Chains A and B, each alone.
Chain A
Amino acid sequence: MKAEEMSLGLAPHETIIEPNQSWLRVNWAQLWEYRDLLALLVHREFASKYKQTVLGPVWFILQPLLTSLVYTVFMGHVVKLSTNGIPLVLFFLGNQLAWNYLQQNLSTGGAIFTNNAALFGKVYFPRLVVPLSIVFSNLFACVLQLITFFIIYAGYVLIVPATGGIHVTPMVLCIPLLYLDAAALSLGVCLWLSSLTAKYRDLSQVLQLIVQLWMFASPVLYPLADVPLKWRWVMELNPMTAILESFRYCLLGVGTLTPESVTVSIAATLLLLLTGILVFQRTERTFIDTV
Chain B
Amino acid sequence: MDKPIIEVQGLSKLYTLGSIGATSLRESAERIWAKVRRRQRVNGKHLTARFAPEQTGPLPNSFWALREIDFSVQPGEVVGLIGQNGAGKSTLLKILSRITEPTKGRAILRGRVASLLEVGTGFHPELTGRDNIYLNGAILGMKHAEITRKFDEIVAFAEVEDFIDTPVKRYSSGMTLRLAFAVAAHLEPEILLVDEVLAVGDATFQKKCLGKMGDVARHGRTVLVVSHNMASILALCQRGIILKYGTIHRAGPIQEVVHSYLESSKPEEMVALNERHDREGDGSIRFESIAIENAVGGTIRTGSRCKVTLGYKSMKPVRHARFLLTIYDMSHISMFQLDSEATGGLPDELPAEGSVVCETEPLSVTPGRCYMNLELIRGHQLADRVTYAAYFDVEEDDFFGTGKLPKREWTLTVMKHRWRAACDTAAISP
Contact = CB atoms under 8 A, between A and B. Distances in A.
B122 A123 contact: yes
A47 B126 contact: yes
B102 A125 contact: no
Nearest to B18: A290
Interface residues of A, number: 43
Nearest to A287: B100
A289 B103 CA distance: 12
A177 interface: no
A124 B117 CA distance: 10
Contacts of A288: 94, 99-100
B22 A201 contact: yes
Given A15-B109, A17-B102, A123-B121, A40 B135 contact: yes
Contact of B106 (A9, A16, A48, A51): A16
Contacts of A155: none
Contact of B110 (A13, A199, A200): A13
Interface stretch (A114-122, A181-189, A233-241, A266-274): A114-122
A15 B109 CA distance: 5
Contacts of A119: 121-122, 139
A205 to B, nearest CB: 11
A200 B23 CA distance: 6
A121 B99 contact: yes
Given A36-B144, A48-B127, A200-B25, A290 B19 contact: yes
Interface in A218-232: none
Interface string A262-284: 00000000000000000000000
B383 to A, nearest CB: 36
Nearest to B121: A122
Nearest to B106: A18
A211 interface: no
Interface string A154-192: 000000000000000000000000000000000000000
A23 to B, nearest CB: 13
B110 A14 contact: yes
Contact of B99 (A16, A39, A120, A202): A120
A14 B107 CA distance: 10
Interface string B106-128: 11111111010110011010110
Interface of B: 3, 7, 15, 19-20, 22-25, 28, 94-113, 115, 117-118, 121-122, 124, 126-127, 131, 134-135, 138-144, 190
Q: Which 8 A/B pairs are nearest by Cβ-Cβ distance?
A: A37-B138, A122-B121, A124-B98, A48-B126, A17-B107, A15-B109, A36-B144, A18-B106
14 contacts: A6-B108, A11-B110, A11-B111, A17-B96, A17-B108, A20-B101, A21-B101, A40-B134, A41-B135, A44-B127, A48-B124, A200-B28, A286-B100, A288-B100
